[in-house]
Copies of this chain bind each other. A is one copy, B any other.
């Protein structure tokens, strides 16, 4: 029985970099690969970054209830297949889902044992500096991202854990600690103990 970690953050909070570090650090933790209707970008690999599917295939999956969560974002469909979660469970590895608050809320309804983590910027000003520092977005797009971020941050309250990414290494240590601590929960450790401890009937 693997753990399910669900991570959300506003754009610019550093979620992608933090999640990459975390997945590299824990051998038993894997990134969940979502389905999407949007075309692959340069460098993206089918089955690693996304499962790229045609719109009609995506819609059939959604209609058949095969998604644990799905959403439309800017006209593209994104979804996490229930099969992806079940493969992790039966395979005994942990899964990391990087999804927005809307998707996380859907997961929360059906997977209450999931561990929900929200990554926050230290302030709106710092978030703006980071988005401007990328040098890729117009002032208008940055303003929209900031507005979206304000809305998303309001959702942070219902998550289990909050990681403030002011200093990357500190945020990484906190994120790691959350994963490691969950792996020390009784339900996870009990099955690994020697039979002589007599705890088998507690499982």
Contact = CB atoms under 8 A, between A and B. Distances in A.
A162 B174 contact: no
B184 A177 contact: yes
Nearest to A199: B157
B163 A174 contact: no
Chain A interface, DSSP helix/strand/loop, else mixed: helix
A120 interface: yes
A186 B154 contact: no
A19 to B, nearest CB: 16
B184 A153 contact: no
A153 B189 contact: no
Among A118, A162, A196: residue with most chain B CB under 10 A: A162
Contacts of A154: 197-199
6 contacts: A156-B197, A157-B186, A164-B193, A176-B177, A177-B178, A177-B180
Interface of A: 118, 120, 122-124, 150, 153-154, 156-164, 173-174, 176-178, 180-182, 184-186, 189-190, 192-194, 196-199, 202
